[in-house]
Amino acid sequence: MKKLDWYILKSFLTTFFFAIFLFTVIAVVIDVSEKTDDFVRSQLGFVNIVTKYYYGFVPHIIALLFPLFVFIAVIFFTSKMAGRSEIIAILASGTSFNRWLRPYWIGGVLLGGILWFANQYVIPRANQIRGSFEATYIDRNSTYNALFTTNTNLYIRIDSFTYAGINGYDTLFKRGGPFFMYKIKNNVVVRNIRAETLRWDTATKKWMLDNALERILHAKGEWVHLDAVKAMKFNFKPLDLGRDKYTKDKLITPDLDRFIKLEELRGSEGLNELKVERYRRDATSVTVLLLTLIGAIVAGRKVRGGSGVHLATGFITAAVFIIADRFSTIFSTKGNLPPIIAAWIPNMIFVLVAIYLYKKAPK
């Protein structure tokens, strides 16, 4: 690390953290003004509001726009350097273009690593804090806490050969029904259970089937038995039956991986949405590096109009990135686009953009 590296890296990080701090303050002020009535109704003190809500809100809003502010910070301070002819002097002194980009690589990898770690472990826990507060004090019907779900057909794959379904489930009282379960062997149903009600016994940690009719088929005929109450142990619990569309946002990555495997075993719908979220947690850290390099290459050229032209170019580029990201997500969750491709398509596009800009940049 030479003086040049420290100079550029210091300017990069100082500009970025100042920009993200300023934006966070503005976001908090706007959020407070919108939720003042809710905070008053909650009857919580200042400390409780900060610890039970803003400890989750601030990391969430920072992570949401982290790549964008990295891009803006790079463009802003680099265009200032170009405007003062510092970059021309650096290159004229014999420093190669690749050597000049080294501190940008270092800064991009550093910030990308910070975002990667935050996406895996910090942001999901922050979303738990924020979501719990909103469900309790702001929006009591929020799907962050699915308290009541009825008239909803739930289908579950218990194992490789056993399937079950509930024609209605109440997550508040942890009961539902009618319930059915069947086991298949060699494409033939060998066991079938039907019950009027499925309910969770908190004492035994088992599911209780009321008026359960069980049929077991074998070569010599069938065996039929009726139980007033039948205890069963399944691989799902009451929490698993509450359809919370924000689950993917609140699980740390190891838990999200396990949840995806469990949902695959059950044959649940909406797996692509979970997988896109999982792959995006890795992809956004690479996005930070790509936007850093693109910003440096674009803003490193001295142009008439100065920072204004560079910032306009930056916002257009960011808009294209966001549009590509949204479209790829929709094509995956609503179509047949593989989730890993959907999560990485924006980065694939911007790799090509970065290579093109690099070849065209004056060196």
**Res. 147: pLDDT tops 50:** no
pLDDT, tens digit (0-9, with 9 covering 90-100), for 13-68: 999 999 999 999 999 999 999 999 888 888 889 999 999 999 999 999 999 889 98
CATH 2.30.30 occupies which residues in the chain?
154-242
- Position 296 scores a pLDDT of 92
**Res. 179: pLDDT tops 70:** yes
- Position 139 scores a pLDDT of 67
Beta bridge partners of 215: 192, 224
Q: Determine how many CB atoms are found less than 10 A away from the CB of residue 316.
A: 10
- Position 161 scores a pLDDT of 85
- Position 47 scores a pLDDT of 93
Assign 245 a pLDDT band (cuts: 50, 70, 90): low
| 163 phi and psi angles, rounded to 5 deg | -130, 150
Q: What is the DSSP string of 15-59?
A: HHHHHHHHHHHHHHHHHHHHHHHHHHHHT--HHHHIIIIIHHHHH
DSSP 8-state class, residue 134? I
Q: Averaging pLDDT over each range in 59-68, 109-118, 204-213, 308-317, which range is the top one?
A: 109-118
- Position 145 scores a pLDDT of 43
Better pLDDT: 343 or 311: 343
- Position 286 scores a pLDDT of 94
CATH code of domain 154-242? 2.30.30
Q: What is the mean pLDDT of residues 256-275?
A: 80
Assign 243 a pLDDT band (cuts: 50, 70, 90): low
Q: What is the mean pLDDT of residues 276-282?
A: 92
Q: What is the DSSP string of 148-169?
A: ---S--EEEE-SSSEEEEES-E
Q: Determine how many CB atoms are found less than 10 A away from the CB of residue 142.
A: 17
- Position 144 scores a pLDDT of 43
**Length in residues, the chain:** 363
- Position 222 scores a pLDDT of 84
Q: Of 268, 44, 258, 256, nearest to 154 (Cα)?
A: 268
Q: What is the mean pLDDT of residues 262-283?
A: 83
Residues of the chain with pLDDT > 90, as a percent, come to: 40
Q: What is the mean pLDDT of residues 232-258?
A: 79
Distance between CA atoms of 281 and 276, rounded to whole angstroms?
A: 9
Q: What is the mean pLDDT of residues 137-154?
A: 55
Tokens of 320: 């294209």
Mean per-residue pLDDT over the chain, rounded: 85
Range with the poorest average pLDDT among 97-111, 212-226, 238-252, 262-276: 238-252
Helices assigned H by DSSP within 43-179: 46-49, 55-83, 86-92, 97-117, 123-133
Distance between CA atoms of 173 and 54, rounded to whole angstroms?
A: 31
Assign 173 a pLDDT band (cuts: 50, 70, 90): confident
Assign 119 a pLDDT band (cuts: 50, 70, 90): very high
DSSP 8-state class, residue 361? S
